[in-house]
Structure 1
Amino acid sequence: MASFGNAFSSSIGKKLIMGITGLFLITFLLVHCFLNSLIFLNDGGLTFNEGAHFMGTNWIIRSMEIVLFAGLLLHIIQGFRLVLQNRAARPERYAVNTGSANSKWYSRSMGLLGTLLLIFLIVHISKFWVASRFTGIPSVDVNGNHDLFALMVETFKNPLLVILYVLSMISLAYHLLHGFSSAFQTLGWNHKKYTPIIKALGFWYSIVISVLFAAMPVVMYLGLIN
């Protein structure tokens, strides 16, 4: 048991946990983005509310929320531990920083990008998840579903929140650009034939997911979706 614990507290173990939880969160983002993209049907949010109702009442989905939050929390904790570990390994700055010669700036800034996303998550959860699960949504649509769409419309009347969401999605894009392929690499899924495909898939996934998420508050603020 001790050796098992040591394996996951080691540098390799921490990266392994980051890889596993990262792939899990990547899958969640895909589902979450698909559901939220239903607002682009521009049907007054009826289809979106229907999907949100299903996600909120299905016991399998509700059970997976526990797994989701556990994975998210573990990903955050391990991420900060890796950042602190890397800083401790290099207590003194080099006179000449040549990091860019071997890696992209966002690969070296995962701690900062992760912190920005954490701030966004706190705001996002407090605005939507808490309301949909605990405090309740006061209005219902014509189908009798809680009108989460109306809550989104009201929330994104605030330009500061729109700006926060857009900046956070830029951070998400850079976070995913490094994290997507890195997760596969950490798990040892490297192959000269498939690695370029994974990198290309990771690039487009990062861009499309982030652009869609960023577009949602923008189109609502501009009144293009109602």
Structure 2
Amino acid sequence: MGGLIKSSVAKKFAMALSGLFLVLFLGQHFTINFSSVISPDTFNEWSHFMGTNILVQAVLQPVLIFGVVFHFVMGIVLEIHNRKARAINYVSYKGNRNSSWMSRNMIYSGLVVLAFLGLHFYDFWVPELVHKYIEGHPEDAGRYYGELVEKFQDPIRVILYVVSFIFLMLHLLHGFSSSFQSVGWNNKYAKGLRGFTVAYAIIIPLGFIFIALYHYINNL
């Protein structure tokens, strides 16, 4: 039993670290995308750097992909483990009184986010690979803004992005703060950190939604 507990704790710890890493990337990704609203030239410059820098392409990008896969695989493993642990149901148990909707449905919000990532890779990452490595086009540092705007001219795609980021918000509202608890962050700054994670979980997804709606409406 002790080995099982340690294993479960280790899995939660590893999942928390991967989640915090993905949250850090999310903020960086938002900063670049939001620059498209303020300055197309800045967006092109930053996007070109991310798309051509050898460190980003050869090191950070594979680490990011591994982090995404690892985080969601661990989430599924822990969900299966938790369901087995709850095999005996108590009549007096009231889920909505003991935990929030977000915490009880992390696996579902996570699956929606994972599906969105598949769409996002299909929309941006795969075309980028085709453009550079299959079709062999020369580097064009000014093409990124136009490609972004073109993607958001499809109202169906915009709706899917909006819905996906709402689910990301729900996922982060529980997951971000609980990640710090899983890694043992419990001190006098914990309350303030909780406030920061809630603000981050709301502002960043709403920011992405704003970007999608801005480019759709601005180019009608």
Same fold by TM-score, threshold 0.5 exceeded? Answer: yes
Partner of 2:120: 124
Corresponding residue of 2:202: 207
| Matched ranges for 1:142-153 at <5 A | 144-153=140-149
Match of 1:198 among 193, 196, 214: 193
Q: Secondary structure at the match of 1:10?
A: helix
> Residues of 1 paired with 2:104 and 2:143: CA distance?
41
CA distance in 2, matches of 1:55, 1:209: 20
Q: Could you say which residue in structure 1 is the equivalent of 2:23? A: 26
Residues 1:111 and 2:107 are matched in the alignment: yes
Match of 2:67 among 65, 71, 74: 71
Query: What's the offset of the Cα at 1:66?
Result: 0.9
Matched to 1:105, the amino acid is: W
Q: Which string of whole-angstrom CA distances, capped at 9 and with x for unpartnered residues, describes residues 38-81 of structure 1?
A: 0111x4x2221111001111122221111111111110100011
Which of these residues, 47, 52, 66, is aligned with residue 57 of structure 1?
52
Q: Which runs of 5+ in 1 are unaligned?
A: 1-5
Contact 2:48 2:144 in 1 (8 A): no
Task: Measure the CA separation in 1 of the matches of 2:189 and 2:182.
Answer: 15
Structure 1 distance, partners of 2:65, 2:5, is 19
Task: Give the CA deviation at 1:146.
Answer: 4.9
Q: CA deviation at 1:89?
A: 1.6
Partner of 2:7: 10
Counterpart Cα distance in 1 of 2:189 and 2:180: 11
Q: Distance in 2 between matches of 1:149 and 1:89?
A: 49
> Which structure shows the bigger proportion of residues in helix conformation?
2
Looking at structure 2, the residues matched to 20 and 221 of structure 1 have their Cα atoms a distance apart, in angstroms, of: 35
Q: CA RMSD in A?
A: 2.3
Instruction: Tell me: CA distance 1:7–1:89, structure 2 relative to 1, closer, same or farther (3 Å).
Output: closer
- Give the whole-Å Cα distance in 2 for the aligned partners of 1:128 and 1:153: 12
* Structure 2, gaps ≥5 residues long: none
Partner of 1:100: 96
Task: State the 1:181 CA deviation.
Answer: 1.1
> Whole-Å Cα distance in 1 between the matches of residues 203 and 50 of structure 2?
23
**Structure 1, residues 140-186: CA drift from partner, whole Å, max 9, x if none?**
9xx94151222222221111111110011111111111111111110
Q: Cα distance 1:7–1:90, how it changes in 2: closer, same or farther (>3 A)? A: closer
Q: How many residues align?
A: 213
- Residues 85-134 of structure 1, C-alpha deviations (whole Å, 9 max, x = no match): 111222355445412222211011100000000110000001101112x1
CA distance in 2, matches of 1:18, 1:92: 26
Percent identity of equivalent pairs: 38
Q: Is the 8 A contact 1:48 1:149 kept in 2?
A: yes
User: Contact conserved, 2:20 with 2:179, CA < 8 A, in 1?
Assistant: yes
Instruction: Please tell me the residue identity of whatever aligns with 2:78.
Output: L
| TM-score, normalisation: structure 1 | 0.87
| Contact persistence 2:16–2:183 (CA under 8 A) | yes
Counterpart in the other structure of 1:3: none
Q: In structure 1, the residue corresponding to 2:102 is in which secondary structure?
A: coil
